[in-house]
């Protein structure tokens, strides 16, 4: 039986299972492993055939054995090296240095954390949340350290609320590889410095970035100018239209006092016509037959959306945008006059979108996953935990431990 488990644990001489201790009442099974070598290679300097100084008992949690918690216990040799004169514990083949879980259990923990809240994973395994976070932090950081960002050219920067309250993280996405590159607390120009430094650590160069897609906030523009000096800024259409929706809603709210029916029309005015319900169709047809300011505001908003339907036709987009700006400036609706000023100021970057074809759509698309990340990090006070989960599920990390349940044929199919 010991031979079977030696093979099942993937051990090779001089390591072998010498005893299996099944403690049914305690719900656990303990595999006693021994290294029977008389002399070993020094783990520090590599000198072969060095004497063993002593053996120290250690224990690792492993994947479950049926429904029982499984442990590996071993007296791990320390080599007393004659060459470098250091006494050093040898590295065991089933766990990384200093870990209390075997590599397979760590890989399983990582796989679970991509689908479940950390608290639930900890509960499932009967360990503290902290232990799960330590495993996660270690492997996410180790995997990220090996990521290569040398080819990064086109990025987006986006702010996300980190948790309830007023904390924000900025997400930098690689729009070509469609992955999260970097996430950091804050949303100011300094945030870009942190990004540029992180990019350099991963073999990239902020000066090589050609395009950055942004919302219209001033801080990110300043950060781009300073840290990505060769990048052209494209403003994200979604954020531009969102400003028009805000202006529209300001007009509607001001007018509700005179026209009560406008109270119920909010969603109809904000939604795409294709998504209107039967009731919203009736409401919007009513609105369009009125001479209300809200009706005019809605037409302005629709016209701005129309600009972004131009695809890559930059000439047509330029004509439509310029006529929109002059319409909005004359429209006698204060929120849209202000928006016209904003849009005129950002005109080049808005039109740049039609050349670059970039948007923050990829980052927006991560929203669902970021929400899941927030749920998985819920109850943990730091942004660091949220960011670790974001990397785990959005960064396409190539060097995370492989899920031990995924067998070779399925990997080949993936």
52 binds Zn ion (CB under 5 A): no
Of 90 and 325, the one with the shorter C-beta distance to Zn ion is 90
Q: Give least dist CB 176 to Zn ion, A.
A: 46
Near Zn ion by CB under 5 A: residue from 21, 49, 54, 83: 83
CA distance linking residue 182 with residue 144, whole number of Å: 10
Q: With left for phi above 0 and alpha for psi between -120 and 50, is residue 283 left, alpha or beta?
A: alpha
Residues 254-273 that bind Zn ion (CB under 5 A): none
Stretch in the footprint of Zn ion (CB under 5 A) among 73-81, 96-104, 264-272, 339-347 = 73-81
Cis peptide before 14 (omega within 30 of 0): yes
84 binds Zn ion (CB under 5 A): yes
Of 81 and 248, the one with the shorter C-beta distance to Zn ion is 81
Task: Tell me the DSSP string of 45-112.
Answer: T--SSEEEEEEEEEEEEEEEETTEEEEEEEEEEEEE-TTT--EEEPPPTTS-TT-SB-HHHHHHHHHH
Of 83 and 282, the one with the shorter C-beta distance to Zn ion is 83
Of 46 and 203, the one with the shorter C-beta distance to Zn ion is 46
44 binds Zn ion (CB under 5 A): yes
Q: What element of type H or E holds 361? A: helix 361-365
Q: What is the dihedral of CA 317, 323, 324, 330, to 10 degrees?
A: 170
Q: What element of type H or E holds 114? A: none
Stretch in the footprint of Zn ion (CB under 5 A) among 40-48, 127-135, 160-168, 376-384 = 40-48
30 binds Zn ion (CB under 5 A): no
CA distance linking residue 290 with residue 296, whole number of Å: 9
Q: Give least dist CB 81 to Zn ion, A.
A: 3
Q: Give least dist CB 87 to Zn ion, A.
A: 9
Q: Give least dist CB 84 to Zn ion, A.
A: 3
Size of the site for Zn ion (CB under 5 A): 7
Residues 194-233 that bind Zn ion (CB under 5 A): none
Q: Residue 271, SS3?
A: coil
Near Zn ion by CB under 5 A: residue from 29, 81, 339, 358: 81
Stretch in the footprint of Zn ion (CB under 5 A) among 79-87, 189-197, 240-248, 357-365 = 79-87
45 binds Zn ion (CB under 5 A): yes
327-336: b or e for each residue (b if 16 or more CB lie within 10 Å)? bbeebebebb
Q: Give least dist CB 41 to Zn ion, A.
A: 9
Q: Residue 278, SS3?
A: helix
The interface mask with Zn ion, positions 278-307, x = CB under 5 A, is ------------------------------
Give the residue ranges of DSSP H helices in 150-236.
189-201, 218-227
Binding site for Zn ion (CB under 5 A): 42, 44-45, 47, 81, 83-84
């Amino acid at each position: 039986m010991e031979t079977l488990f030696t093979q099942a644990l993937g051990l090779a001489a001089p390591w072998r299972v010498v005893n299996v201790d099944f403690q049914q009442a305690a719900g656990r099974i303990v595999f006693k492993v021994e290294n029977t070598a008389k002399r070993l290679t020094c783990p520090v300097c590599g000198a072969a055939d060095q004497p063993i100084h002593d053996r120290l008992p250690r224990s690792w949690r492993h994947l479950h054995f049926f429904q029982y918690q499984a442990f590996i216990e071993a007296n791990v040799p320390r080599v007393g090296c004659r060459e470098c004169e250091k006494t050093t514990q040898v590295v065991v083949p089933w766990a990384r240095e200093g870990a209390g879980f075997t590599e397979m259990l760590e890989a399983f923990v990582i796989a679970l954390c991509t689908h479940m809240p950390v608290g639930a994973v900890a509960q499932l395994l009967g360990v503290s949340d902290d232990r799960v976070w330590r495993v996660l932090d270690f492997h996410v950081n180790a995997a990220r350290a090996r990521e290569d960002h040398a080819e990064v050219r086109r990025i987006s920067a986006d702010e996300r609320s980190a948790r309830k309250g007023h904390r924000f993280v900025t997400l930098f996405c690689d729009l070509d590889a469609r992955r999260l590159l970097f996430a950091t607390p804050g949303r100011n120009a300094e945030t870009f410095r942190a990004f540029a430094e992180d990019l350099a650590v991963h073999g990239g160069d902020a000066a090589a970035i050609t395009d950055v897609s942004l919302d219209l906030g001033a801080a990110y523009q300043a950060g781009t100018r300073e840290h990505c000096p060769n990048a052209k800024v494209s403003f994200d259409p979604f954020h531009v239209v969102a400003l028009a929706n805000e202006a529209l809603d300001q007009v509607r709210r001001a007018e509700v006092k005179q026209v009560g029916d406008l109270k119920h029309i909010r969603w109809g005015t904000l939604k795409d016509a294709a998504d209107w319900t039967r009731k919203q169709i009736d409401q919007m047809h009513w609105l369009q037959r009125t001479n209300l300011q809200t009706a005019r505001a809605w037409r302005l908003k629709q016209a701005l959306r129309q600009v972004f339907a131009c695809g890559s036709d930059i000439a047509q987009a330029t004509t439509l945008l310029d006529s929109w700006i002059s319409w909005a400036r004359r429209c006698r609706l204060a929120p849209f006059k202000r928006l016209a000023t904003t849009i005129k100021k950002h005109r080049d970057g808005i039109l740049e979108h039609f050349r670059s074809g970039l948007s923050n759509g990829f980052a927006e698309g991560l929203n669902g996953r970021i929400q899941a990340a927030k749920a998985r990090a819920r109850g943990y006070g730091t942004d660091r935990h949220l960011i670790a989960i974001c990397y785990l599920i959005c960064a396409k990390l190539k060097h995370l431990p492989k899920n031990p349940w995924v067998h070779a044929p399925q990997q080949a199919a993936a």
